[in-house]
């Protein structure tokens, strides 16, 4: 591997040998439904608690990714994963079931690309032949943990986001066919003082802009290099802010398609439910591993930069009057050699 | 890097260029007091909340590790860290202050060696010239989050452990003097069904034994290769169980000194306070980065295996009737080339 600034270049160009996306009923009604491997028809995910449901999504996704990668369970060497639950229990309990050496990570909703960046480092460095990255979120587990009791049904402001129910995993390897992981830009914690925990888009936009700026600087690229640059998840409020901040940095985002996973996953006419758009660890994971990789394999996209954003607050840090520290990790995906 | 089974061999043998250990007043009264860089005389760590105190310990430790490594703040490229707080806020807020690209990790009390293993992979793979690993814990933040309101002063059974207040960081690099990181064995999640969240030693001992067994199998070593094998933290209850389990696996722990960080950090005559011994992310960090590295530099120890253990439960997983999934990550440290 090589490093320049915040950006790693993977010299072996690890391949995403197989990936998976399993979602809940609401995500299954959205425009990307056909790209998901399985859609549960109930928000309980056939389990007795939402937390067990979230874990089941992740276990399903892990199994499906192995199947798509056409490798045996015993050939998987490491699992790198995390989620939004306190003490990342969804990932740790899924890792218990998988029975492979496990690196738990946490980057809130940036976990999707943090885990892929670390798993790809294992492949590139020779630390693994096969490694899995994965994450999950569930609307009700997150509402309950971060906001109000779910049954309370409290109203949220229109700039709030809606945590998606879903899990995505990928198996990376040094050899094989599939999109390659070519670079990762590891984010710094950026905090411009936003304190409203419903306003994640505004809080996270500067982190996304900072990481995209670093990626372009470190690689000498401009946005036009990519067919698509996608954040996850700034939604309707954060994406225009990120565009504006990047414009001030002289980064010409108009050269490319600049989209957001939280805006892609739901029909926009469902806005009264999903407010400014989707969020949660699972959102950028299922959009990337479901939708984007399939478009890459169909030849519709060749070069994509996925910029997963995370808000690193806890209910306690908010209660103690702290602002919201945010981060974004970017991973560059390319088809072909 | 090379991988065999669960074990990485670092071919460049990353050097721990500098390390630090900052502790609270109770740890400062223990037998290792002289080895710590700074001892706070108040459990509040000069802050208004315990959480801010925990973060301050980590920020102090990060600064001190850079100082000991004799590198400038701007030369540090990545920080790998985590802690026990929900959403690892101590690490994320410390990373905000440090302003470097940040990989958040979580392995409960195994975070100390998980972060060192990942930071060392960055060095070995060329992903960084300088990377920091770090973690922290605070007795009162953990009591409050995982058990009862701290002011309630509830009694605990004698087999419970006492979370230490302290933080430890290390700066790893490809070049320089100091102990080398030669191998890491990444643990699997092991869960033999223990459900009592006070009985962490019993829950974690099988994970420690599993990782030590994997390490010996993967490296072809026997315990006698090491001057010291130290777990963190099984304490008085878990250590004998791990010994017994290893005996059944045919691993001759009597060949070496087999100790536990949780037993080393406090005077044993303080048992009525610390029960079966210390625990917490900070425990194995300050014992390793404070005490053990200093003994290595003085020539008293040449080869040490640190086996950090973590209980990956959350209060919620316990409330939902789940048993305790545990993990242990081992890192091998050697003086000289």
Q: Which residues contact B272 (CB under 8 A, 6 or more apart)?
A: none
Structure tokens given for A21:
């996306």
Predicted local distance difference test score (pLDDT) of residue A127: 98
Q: Do B313 and A87 touch (CB under 8 A)?
A: yes
Q: Name residues of chain B where pLDDT drops below 70.
A: 337
> Given CA atoms B6, B9, B10, B11 in this order, what sign does their dihedral have?
negative
Whether A106 contacts chain B with CB within 8 A: yes
Q: Rounded distance, CA A324 to CA B82, Å?
A: 17
From A93, A186, A325, residue closest to B101, measured CB to CB: A186
Whether B127 contacts chain A with CB within 8 A: yes
Q: Do B2 and A126 touch (CB under 8 A)?
A: yes
Q: Rounded distance, CA B262 to CA B249, Å?
A: 24
Report the run of H or E that residue B231 belongs to, with start and end: strand B228-232
Question: Mind spelling out the 3-state secondary structure of A258-320?
Answer: EEEHHHHCCCHHHHHHHCCCEECHHHHHHHHHHHHHHHHHCCCCCEEEEEEEEECCCHHHHHC
Q: Within a 13 Å sphere around the CA of A222, how many CA atoms are in the beta-carbon half?
A: 10
Predicted local distance difference test score (pLDDT) of residue A253: 97
CA of A11 vs chain B CAs: smallest distance (Å) = 10
Write out pLDDT tens, residues A133-142: 999 999 999 9
Residue of A nearest to B101 (CA): A188
Predicted local distance difference test score (pLDDT) of residue A14: 98
Q: Do A78 and B325 touch (CB under 8 A)?
A: no
CA distances from B185 to A27, B110, B170, B223, B285 (A): 39, 12, 19, 14, 17
CA of A34 vs chain B CAs: smallest distance (Å) = 33
Q: Do A189 and B99 touch (CB under 8 A)?
A: yes
Q: Domains in chain B, start-ordered, CATH in brackets?
A: 2-173 (3.40.47.40), 180-334 (3.40.47.40)
Residue B254: count of CB within 10 angstroms of its CB:
12
Q: Do A106 and B101 touch (CB under 8 A)?
A: no
CA distances from B63 to B16, B58, B109, B142, B294 (A): 15, 9, 22, 24, 18
41-100 in A: which are within 8 Å (CB) of B? 49, 51-52, 77-78, 82, 84-89, 92-93, 95-96, 99-100
- Give the strand pairing for A166-173 and A162-163: unpaired
Q: Cβ contacts (< 8 Å) between A82 and chain B: which residues?
A: 104, 106
Predicted local distance difference test score (pLDDT) of residue A269: 81
- In a mutagenesis test of the B interface, which of A83, A91, A146, A317 is the best target, namely the one with the most B β-carbons within 10 Å? A317
Question: Tokens 């982190």 — which residue?
Answer: A207
Predicted local distance difference test score (pLDDT) of residue A336: 78
Whether B191 contacts chain A with CB within 8 A: yes
Q: Rounded distance, CA A321 to CA B273, Å?
A: 33
Which band of pLDDT confidence, cut at 50, 70 and 90, is reported for residue A125? Answer: very high
Predicted local distance difference test score (pLDDT) of residue A157: 92
CA of B65 vs chain A CAs: smallest distance (Å) = 19
Q: Rounded distance, CA B288 to CA B301, Å?
A: 12
Kindly compute the dihedral angle of the four CA atoms of residues B296, B302, B305, B308, in this order, to the nearest 10 degrees. Answer: 0
Predicted local distance difference test score (pLDDT) of residue A15: 98
Predicted local distance difference test score (pLDDT) of residue B148: 83
**Across all residues in chain A, what is the average pLDDT?**
96
Residue of B nearest to A125 (CA): B125
Predicted local distance difference test score (pLDDT) of residue A79: 98
Write out pLDDT tens, residues A213-243: 999 999 999 999 999 999 999 999 999 999 9
Single out the residue of B13, B304, B329, B10 nearest to residue B180, CA to CA.
B13
- Give the strand pairing for B78-83 and B130-137: parallel
Predicted local distance difference test score (pLDDT) of residue B149: 85
Q: Do A106 and B106 touch (CB under 8 A)?
A: yes
**For residue A16, what are the β-bridge partners?**
A172
Whether B114 contacts chain A with CB within 8 A: yes
Q: Which residues contact A60 (CB under 8 A, 6 or more apart)?
A: A20, A22, A38, A167
Write out pLDDT tens, residues A180-196: 999 999 999 999 999 99
CA distances from B122 to A110, B14, B103, B131, B174 (A): 19, 9, 11, 7, 10
Q: Cβ contacts (< 8 Å) between B315 and chain A: which residues?
A: 86
Whether B121 contacts chain A with CB within 8 A: yes
8 Å CB contact between B234 and B205? yes
Write out pLDDT tens, residues A40-70: 999 999 999 999 999 999 999 999 999 999 9
Predicted local distance difference test score (pLDDT) of residue A268: 82
Q: Do B3 and A100 touch (CB under 8 A)?
A: no
Question: Mind spelling out the 3-state secondary structure of A94-162?
Answer: HHHHHCCCEEEECECECHHHHHHHHHHHHHHHCCCCEEEEEEEECHHHHHHHHCCCHHHCCCCCCCCCE
Q: Rounded distance, CA B36 to CA A29, Å?
A: 57
Q: Do A89 and B317 touch (CB under 8 A)?
A: yes
Structure tokens given for B17:
């260029």
Predicted local distance difference test score (pLDDT) of residue B111: 98
Whether A325 contacts chain B with CB within 8 A: yes
Whether B146 contacts chain A with CB within 8 A: no
Q: Do A189 and B102 touch (CB under 8 A)?
A: yes
């Amino acid at each position: 591997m090589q490093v320049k600034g915040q950006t790693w270049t993977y010299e072996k160009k690890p391949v995403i040998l197989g990936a998976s996306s399993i979602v809940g009923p609401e995500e299954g009604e959205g425009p990307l439904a056909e790209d998901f491997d399985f859609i549960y028809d109930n928000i309980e995910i056939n389990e007795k608690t939402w937390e067990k449901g979230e874990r089941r999504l992740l276990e399903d996704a892990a199994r499906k990714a192995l199947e798509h990668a056409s490798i045996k369970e015993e050939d998987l060497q490491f699992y790198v994963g995390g989620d939004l639950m306190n003490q990342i229990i969804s990932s740790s309990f899924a890792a218990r079931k998988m029975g492979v050496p496990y690196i738990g990570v946490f980057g809130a909703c940036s976990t999707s690309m943090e885990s892929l960046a670390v798993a790809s480092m294992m492949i590139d460095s020779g630390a693994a032949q096969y490694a899995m990255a994965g994450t999950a979120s569930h609307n009700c587990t997150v509402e309950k943990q971060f906001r109000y009791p779910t049954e309370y049904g409290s109203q949220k402001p229109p700039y709030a986001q809606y945590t998606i129910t879903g899990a995505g995993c990928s198996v990376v390897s040094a050899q094989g066919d599939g999109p390659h992981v070519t670079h990762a830009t590891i984010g710094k914690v950026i905090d411009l003082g936003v304190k409203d925990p419903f306003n994640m888009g505004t809080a996270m936009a500067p982190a996304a802009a900072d990481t995209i700026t670093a990626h372009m600087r470190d690689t000498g690229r401009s946005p036009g290099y990519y067919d698509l640059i996608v954040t996850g998840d700034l939604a309707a409020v954060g994406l225009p802010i990120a565009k504006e901040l990047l414009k001030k940095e002289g980064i010409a985002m108009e050269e490319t398609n600049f989209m957001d996973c939280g805006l892609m996953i739901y029909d926009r006419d469902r806005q009264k439910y999903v407010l400014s758009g989707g969020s949660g660890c699972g959102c950028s994971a299922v959009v990337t591993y479901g939708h984007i990789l399939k478009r890459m394999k169909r030849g519709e996209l060749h070069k994509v930069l996925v910029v997963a954003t995370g808000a690193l607050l806890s209910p306690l840090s908010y209660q103690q009057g702290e602002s919201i520290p945010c981060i974004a990790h970017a991973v560059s995906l390319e088809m072909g050699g």
